[in-house]
Amino acid sequence: MTNNNVEKMIIVGSGPAGFTAALYTARANLNPLLITGNEIGGQVAITYEVENYPGFPEGLTGPEMVEKFQKQAEKFGARIEYDYVSSVDFTQHPFTVSTASGKEYRAESVIISTGATPRKLGVPGEKEYTGFGVSYCGTCDGFFFRGKDVIVVGGGDSALEEGLFLTKFANKVTVVHRRDELRASKILQDRAASNPKMDYKWSHVVERINASGGNGNGTPAKVVSATLRDLKTNEVYDFPVDGVFIFIGHTPNSELFRGQLEIDEAGYVITDKRMHTSVHGVFAGGEIQDSVFRQVVTSAGQGAAAAMEAEKFLGELEAQSYHEILAEHGLAVPVLA
């Protein structure tokens, strides 16, 4: 279904960057349309507690934060559409944004804030037993591991933060890390060190995840162990566990933009310091373009910056045509790669 109206501003994605862009562009009277994606709120929606967002000294849960972001953007007139963007065409202006439900929008300006997805280990058993003991979200699944033993894979902030959360339920949480030094922040390392339920397997990797049942006889699969390799001794052994929680970083959700925008080797959409992508009039903020900071507050800041630049671009567009603007900035008309 093609909507013949040309939207001024479409925002793709509903994490902190997307909602902040919606708030800013709504307050600038640009009547933004935000298309949420499959999971409203993105990664913050599955975060147990956010305690480092300024202005909330008591902390708040991820879902509470998403609710507040949405409420504040809607208060100023942002429109929220629960749909998934399936393709875009940035080669012609106005740009085209098509959704999984069959809608086709045209937009003068687009802000991309599609975020990132948890990275996979790629070992046997991981895919098969996801949901049967393998998880990427302690906040979502921790409850099912009351009194059980689990491992957490990774050595970053996510591994420790989620591992600490899991100690509320689990009997024991063993961090399996490929090096003998964590990259997590000092405060989390200190908290983990003083938690008696936390344990470590240093210089270890997971080679396989093993389960019982799930073989068609009516018994659901259930993780029973992880096959670990000690990288120092090369010893391989089965470590009995009920759950495997994987926190080894993220992959940016940029497939949609391949061939349309410049993307780096790791898959991040490339922006300049003013959040402009390689196509004039298309901006990006949050984890889709930030492989370094990845905080709620930095993503929100990048969403605000993208919105302010988009507002400036739309101002230019009122005075001259898109092609005149490109000529003025010495930019080429976007072409498909």
Which active-site residues does the annotation give?
137, 140-141
| Burial of residue 287 (number of CB atoms within 10 Å: 0-12, 13-18, 19+) | buried
Minimum Å distance from CB 296 to ligand NAP?
9
Rounded-to-integer distance, Cα 203 and Cα 232, Å: 7
Contact positions vs ligand NAP (CB under 6 A):
52, 121, 153-159, 161, 178-179, 183, 205, 247-249, 294-295
Minimum Å distance from CB 161 to ligand NAP?
5
Measured in degrees and rounded to the nearest 5, phi and psi for residue 7 equal -75, 145
Nearest to 286 by CA among 28, 26, 30, 34: 34
Smaller CB separation from ligand NAP, 53 or 84: 53
Minimum Å distance from CB 157 to ligand NAP?
4
Smaller CB separation from ligand NAP, 99 or 295: 295
Rounded-to-integer distance, Cα 237 and Cα 10, Å: 52
Q: How would you label 166-175 residue by residue, b for 16+ Cβ within 10 Å and e otherwise?
A: bbebbebbbb
DSSP label of 334 = P
Minimum Å distance from CB 200 to ligand NAP?
12
Smaller CB separation from ligand NAP, 11 or 159: 159
Strands (E), 139-266: 149-153, 172-176, 198-201, 204-212, 222-230, 236-240, 243-246, 250-252
The arrangement of strands across the sheet holding 236-240 comes to 204-212, 222-230, 236-240
Minimum Å distance from CB 121 to ligand NAP?
6
Q: Give residue 261's identity as a one-letter amino acid code.
A: L
Smaller CB separation from ligand NAP, 46 or 78: 46
Smaller CB separation from ligand NAP, 107 or 198: 198
Q: Which two three-digit tokens encode residue 301?
A: 């800041």
Q: Which residue's CB comes closest to ligand NAP?
A: 156
Strands (E), 68-189: 79-81, 85-89, 95-99, 104-112, 116-118, 134-135, 149-153, 172-176
